[in-house]
Amino acid sequence: MKLIVGLGNPDRQYLNTYHNLGFMCADKTAALFDARFTKEKFRALIAEVGSGDKKIIIAKPLTYMNLSGESIREIVSFYKIDVKDVLVMYDDFDLKKGFIRIRESGSAGTHNGMRNIIKELGTENFPRVRVGFKPDGDMQIPLIDFVLSGIKEEDKPLFERATDTAAHAAADFAKGADIPSLVQKYNGKK
């Protein structure tokens, strides 16, 4: 069983913000499997593909970004999913705008949602797909305001491609591709 998680904030006001890039990735991953988010359980919207050991769960936690780990822990505990079979997709300010980086494990960096997931799962040894959104040049507003701001119109095609790439990486992971092969295929893609 695989769990694919996209991080974001559920309210409409956050829909097209940088902090919802993970939700956008989850939506596109579900679309690749022709799956829909039809269930609300474990404080998340859930789309399911397949059954038994071959089941894939795609989740969008509704706990808001900074408490994402609580929802993920509930799903992992209920289905007894090994953390190596959990893939988390999220926005990353520390990565250049529009770039994808896949890692097998690692720290939370500056990301509070990831910090909470690591705390709740008790490990940082789970794979992740990061979608970079670091702006070109100097930022004129505080980071907290920037992550919750709308994606600029001129950047939307770039993030469409980035979230498409992340979704394809997640789908490959769900189908059994290992992290080193995903790193080779997708890392650094724009």
What are the structural domains, with CATH classification, of the chain? 2-186 (3.40.50.1470)
Question: 71 is written with which tokens?
Answer: 């929802």
- Residues of the chain below pLDDT 50: none
Q: Is the pTM of this model over 0.85?
A: yes
pLDDT of residue 8: 97
d(CA 172, CA 107): 23
- Per residue in 107-124, pLDDT tens? 998 899 999 999 999 999
Task: List active site positions.
Answer: 19
Task: Report pLDDT for 190.
Answer: 62
Q: Walk across the sheet containing 56-61 and list its strands.
A: 39-41, 44-49, 56-61, 2-6, 86-96, 128-134, 100-103
DSSP state of 187: T
pLDDT at 52: 78
